[in-house]
């Protein structure tokens, strides 16, 4: 009896040690959620001043952690931003400059994703929502580091149509509303995986076109008369509510303090005239999605980690590829030089442990358009036609202009003529950065480029559903 009791005590002690170790592990290696909104305007969240509707859950997230007022994305539209977020490198380093037009185009198989890296270190990984990094079998999210996938492969999707919404590789049987479904799937993943750290990439299609709003959400905005803006408000409200529910599930399962949450939009609001606009507002920024003006690349940008990051507003310029480096650092995955990561771990900056600028300069290349920002100075060659003309940006970019964003956030006063030295300096920085860029793997307007050759693929376009081409629009 004495012997048995001794054994039981030993077993109990061992279990307690194992339990404590797993608890410590959970605390030291947080879960990571990267939430991406699609085509949101800079001004379209409460914490950045929206007036005609409310975003209480996003505002709460902003108030709980770090809000970046100079948060950027490296792509002025969908797929390039996602390629860079997931690889931690500027997308032009590997030719992913434009949205993938040709059927076989997608994130080059030579690239490793954040999901690959975190999964290799013991994380459970899921993508819920929009992929837009390739529709072929070997480009599927579950071949690119994600254990689980629920969502769609292209660049846009109906919010009500179940056809094309996949669980893994199988079409789902019923769908109420994508925003609702994505929130629900995210919560299921969060509730299911409490024993090991996880990565959840939650990429809503809200508020990208089509402007599919639910009647009950539309009914909340009788005061908004413009039908597009009304739909936008309804769709934003639905996404905000879904994000609120996701955070509730973290609280409910006791994972709030062991979860790092990032939120960005993948690009600025498409405010140019034309059929692909969504009613978004980028004020006080100038320009639109598809331009390297601030309106195309500066976005709502949040990072929260209750207990680890105190509420703070950060004005230093940061960029979405920093989220890759930040996630790896939080997960204690050591960055390898051969990964050639270009993002910076933001945690020391938001915790006040590093007061320098995270980046000497930030860079953009988008066809003929370019931009470089160093400190408050920005040199930018943009497509002015996008601001005034409907349709695609086929026109050549204008000459580079120089703006000082400290007192000219709206990029209204070109200082190039009076500051030739500054122009020269910024251009030299950009030229140097550009030497390591690759030519685009496919064309700006979806035309086939060298993508097939580059990826060693030669599959027939005829096999693809006609819907795919439309899905890739923006």
Q: Which residues are catalytic?
A: 78, 132
- Spatial contact of 354 and 345, defined as CB atoms under 8 Å apart: no
Any contact of residue 267 with Ca ion (CB under 5 A)? yes
Who's near 182: CB < 8 A, 6+ residues apart? 128, 129, 150, 151, 202, 204, 205, 242
Least Cα distance to 472 among 101, 165, 173 occurs for 101
Cα(307)–Cα(257) distance, rounded to whole angstroms?
A: 6
DSSP state string for 130-169: E--S--SGGGSGGGTT-SEEEEESSS---SS--TT-EETT
Cβ-contact 442, 108 below 8 angstroms: no
Nearer to Ca ion, 242 or 299 (CB): 299
**Please, what is the minimum distance in Å from the beta carbon of residue 347 to Ca ion?**
27
Kindly give the pairing relationship between strand 71-72 and strand 318-319. parallel
Q: Which of 34, 40, 61, 78 binds Ca ion (CB under 5 A)?
A: 78
471 binds Ca ion (CB under 5 A): no
**Residues binding Ca ion: what is the number (CB under 5 A)?**
5
Alpha-carbon separation of residue 119 from 68, 116, 141, 143, 149 (angstroms): 28, 5, 13, 12, 14
Could you tell me the smallest distance in angstroms from the CB atom of residue 137 to Ca ion?
25
Q: Of 17-25, 26-34, 231-239, 264-272, which part binds Ca ion (CB under 5 A)?
A: 264-272
For the chain, report the end-to-end CA distance as a whole number of angstroms. Answer: 73
User: Rule CB under 5 A: is residue 136 a binding residue for Ca ion?
Assistant: no
Q: Should residue 299 be labelled a site residue for Ca ion when binding is judged by CB under 5 A?
A: no
The smaller minimum CB distance to Ca ion, of residues 70 and 288, is found at 288
Question: Cβ closer to Ca ion: 135 or 267?
Answer: 267
Nearest-approach distance from CB 203 to Ca ion, in angstroms: 10
C-alpha distances (whole Å) from 435 to each of 366, 428, 432, 448 are 15, 11, 6, 24
Minimum Å distance from CB 447 to Ca ion? 20
Q: How far is the CB of 47 from Ca ion (least distance, A)?
A: 20
CB-based contacts of 313, cutoff 8 Å, min separation 6: 66, 67, 69
Q: For Ca ion, give the closer residue by CB, 278 or 374.
A: 278
Choose between 130 and 373: whose C-beta lies nearer to Ca ion: 130
Query: Of 197 and 287, which has the nearer Cβ to Ca ion?
Result: 287
Q: Is 318 exposed, middle or buried (0-12, 13-18, 19+ CB in 10 A)?
A: buried
Of 217, 240, 266, 294, the one binding Ca ion (CB under 5 A) is 266
CB of 455 to Ca ion, least distance (A): 23
Q: Determine how β-strand 66-68 pairs with β-strand 301-304.
A: antiparallel
Question: Cβ 89 to Ca ion, closest distance in Å?
Answer: 19
Q: Indicate the SS3 state at residue 66.
A: strand
Tell me which of 34, 38, 271, 350 binds Ca ion, using CB under 5 A: 38
Selected range binding Ca ion among 72-80, 122-130, 422-430, 437-445, rule: CB under 5 A: 72-80
Min dist CB 39 to Ca ion, Å, is 4
Peptide bond into 210 cis (omega under 30): yes
Alpha-carbon distance 366 to 122, whole Å?
A: 36
Q: Got the DSSP string for 177-195?
A: -HHHHHHHHHHHHHHH--S
Of 26, 36, 39, 296, the residue at the interface with Ca ion (CB under 5 A) is 39
**Residue number with the shortest CB distance to Ca ion?**
78
C-beta of 31 vs 288, nearer to Ca ion: 288
Is there binding between residue 79 and Ca ion (CB under 5 A)? no
- Window contacting Ca ion (CB under 5 A); options: 22-30, 192-200, 265-273, 305-313: 265-273
- The answer to whether the peptide bond before residue 426 is cis (omega within 30 degrees of 0) is no
Candidate ranges 24-32, 63-71, 267-275, 297-305; the one touching Ca ion (CB under 5 A): 267-275
Point out which span in 6-14, 34-42, 124-132, 159-167 binds Ca ion (CB under 5 A): 34-42
Q: Which is nearer to Ca ion, 39 or 185 (CB)?
A: 39
Kindly indicate which of the ranges 73-81, 215-223, 271-279, 352-360 contains the residues binding Ca ion, using the contact rule CB under 5 A: 73-81
- Other residues' Cβ atoms within 10 Å of the Cβ of residue 163: 12
Give residues 152-171 in contact with Ca ion (rule: CB under 5 A).
Answer: none
State the Cα–Cα distance between residues 281 and 287, nearest whole angstrom: 10
Q: Sketch the per residue contact string, 375 through 404, with Ca ion: x for CB under 5 A, - otherwise.
A: ------------------------------
For Ca ion, the binding residues (CB under 5 A) are 38-39, 78, 266-267
């Amino acid at each position: 009896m004495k012997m048995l009791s001794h054994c039981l005590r030993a077993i109990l002690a061992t279990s307690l040690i194992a339990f404590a170790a797993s608890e410590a592990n959970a605390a030291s290696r947080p879960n990571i959620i990267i939430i991406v909104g699609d085509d949101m305007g800079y001004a379209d969240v409460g914490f950045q001043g929206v007036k005609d509707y409310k975003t209480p859950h996003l505002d709460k997230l902003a108030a709980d952690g770090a809000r970046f007022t100079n948060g950027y994305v490296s792509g002025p539209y969908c797929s390039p931003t996602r390629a860079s977020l997931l690889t931690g490198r500027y997308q032009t380093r590997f030719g992913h400059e434009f949205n993938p037009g040709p059927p076989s185009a997608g994130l080059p198989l030579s690239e490793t994703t954040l999901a690959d890296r975190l999964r290799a270190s013991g994380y459970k990984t899921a993508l819920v929502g929009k992929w837009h990094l390739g529709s072929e079998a070997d480009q599927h999210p579950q071949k690119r580091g994600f254990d689980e996938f629920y969502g769609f492969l292209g660049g846009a999707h109906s919010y009500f149509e179940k056809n094309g919404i996949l669980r893994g590789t199988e079409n789902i049987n019923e769908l109420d509303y994508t925003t609702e479904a994505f929130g629900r799937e995210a919560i299921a993943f969060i509730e299911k995986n409490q024993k090991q750290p996880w990565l959840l990439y939650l990429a809503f299609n809200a508020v990208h076109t089509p402007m599919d709003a639910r009647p009950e959400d539309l009914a909340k905005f009788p005061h908004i008369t413009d039908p597009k803006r009304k739909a936008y408000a309804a769709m934003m409200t639905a996404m905000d509510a879904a994000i609120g529910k996701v955070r509730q599930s973290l609280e409910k399962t006791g994972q709030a303090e062991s979860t790092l949450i990032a939120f960005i939009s993948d690009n600025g609001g498409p405010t140019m005239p034309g059929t692909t606009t969504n009613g978004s507002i980028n004020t006080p920024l100038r320009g639109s999605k598809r331009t390297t003006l601030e309106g195309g690349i500066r976005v709502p940008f949040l990072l929260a980690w209750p207990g680890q990051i105190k509420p703070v507003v950060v004005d230093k310029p940061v960029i979405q590829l920093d989220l890759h480096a930040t996630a790896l650092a939080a997960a204690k995955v050591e960055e390898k030089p051969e990964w050639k990561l270009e993002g910076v771990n933001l945690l020391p900056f938001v915790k006040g442990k590093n007061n320098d600028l995270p980046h000497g300069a930030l860079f953009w290349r988008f066809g003929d358009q370019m931009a470089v920002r160093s400190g408050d100075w920005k040199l930018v060659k943009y497509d002015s036609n996008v601001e005034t003309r409907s349709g695609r940006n086929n026109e050549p970019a204008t000459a580079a202009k120089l703006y000082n964003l400290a007192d000219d956030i709206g990029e209204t006063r070109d200082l190039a003529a009076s500051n030739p030295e500054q122009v020269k300096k910024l251009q030299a920085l950009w030229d140097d950065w550009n030497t390591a860029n690759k030519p685009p793997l496919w064309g700006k307007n979806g035309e086939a480029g060298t993508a097939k050759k580059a990826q060693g693929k030669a599959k027939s376009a005829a096999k693809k559903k006609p819907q795919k081409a439309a899905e890739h629009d923006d």
